[in-house]
Amino acid sequence: MGELNHNKNVIEVCKNSIGYVKLRQDYLSKDNLLREYNALSEEFREWLKKDYPTENIIYLIKFTK
């Protein structure tokens, strides 16, 4: 009986560990995506300040898709 409980506990720990890793990966990918969006937004603002031609700004917008 003790070995059965031990095996169940091991499986539960593994499930929790895998769940944590998946959540962490999801968080980090969203965080990275937000940083990329912020970087593109900053670049867009710089282009507007420097009066770059409109077609360059349109290129930047299309690049994000």
Please report which confidence band the pLDDT of residue 65 belongs to, taking 50, 70 and 90 as the band edges: very low
Beta strands in the chain (DSSP E): none
Type of residue found at 63: F
Helices (H) and strands (E) in the chain, counts: 2, 0
Its pTM stands at: 0.53
pLDDT digits (tens, 9 = 90+) for 25-60: 999 998 888 888 888 888 878 877 777 666 666 665
In angstroms, the CA 47 to CA 65 distance is 18
Type of residue found at 53: P
